[in-house]
Amino acid sequence: MLIVSDTSALSVLAETALLPLLPALFRQIVITESVHRECRDVGAPSELRAWIENPPDWLTIVPDPANLLPEVSSLDEGEAASVTLAWEHRPGSHLILDEKRGRRIAKALGLSLTGVLAIIADATNLGLVDFDTALRRLVEADFHVSDDVIAEVRRRLVN
């Protein structure tokens, strides 16, 4: 299975020191060149820029798709490339994406997707992290999530 990540997930996981959860859950992550550029951008969080300077073995950087889907024209460059790449590799792909507009488009395209909060829940269920501690880190990093979504994800937790 091809696991494709957008920049925002990597960014918040880097800011909260939770990036090690990705290889623990997925083994290998793929990002596009556009996402790679966004991670290195001077406006990106310093933790993300430092991390991407020496990418880990579990991260693969691939060229952007040659032709972006028309459905992704309203998304930023990294999101558009990520959604298109996942679409090109369906049904054997899974997309890590949090932005509402991008998620709405990915769902309409029938893509398999997850977000940072679901990753935290899955890691919690495997005993890799404490959900409340990780959630607190996300909130401190200005990760915006509704109380309804938090409640929904909490129901997925195994106690």
Q: Is the distance from CB of 9 to CB of 116 less than 8 angstroms?
A: yes
Q: Is the distance from CB of 106 to CB of 84 less than 8 angstroms?
A: no
Spell out the residues 6+ positions from residue 155 whose beta carbon is closer than 8 angstroms to its own: none
Interval 18-56: pLDDT, tens: 999 999 999 999 999 999 999 999 999 999 999 999 999
How many Cα neighbours within 13 Å face the side chain of 31?
Answer: 26
* The CATH number, out of the four listed (3.30.365.10, 3.40.50.2300, 3.40.50.1010, 1.10.1040.10), of the domain defined by the range 2-116: 3.40.50.1010
Spell out the residues 6+ positions from residue 56 whose beta carbon is closer than 8 angstroms to its own: 23
CA 121 to chain centre: 14
Per-residue pLDDT at 156: 87
Q: Work out whether strand 93-96 and strand 59-62 pair parallel, antiparallel, or are unpaired.
A: unpaired
d(CA 75, CA 77): 6
Has residue 159 got a pLDDT over 90? no
Interval 120-130: pLDDT, tens: 999 999 999 99
Locate tokens 């195994």: which residue? 158
What pTM value is reported for the model? 0.94
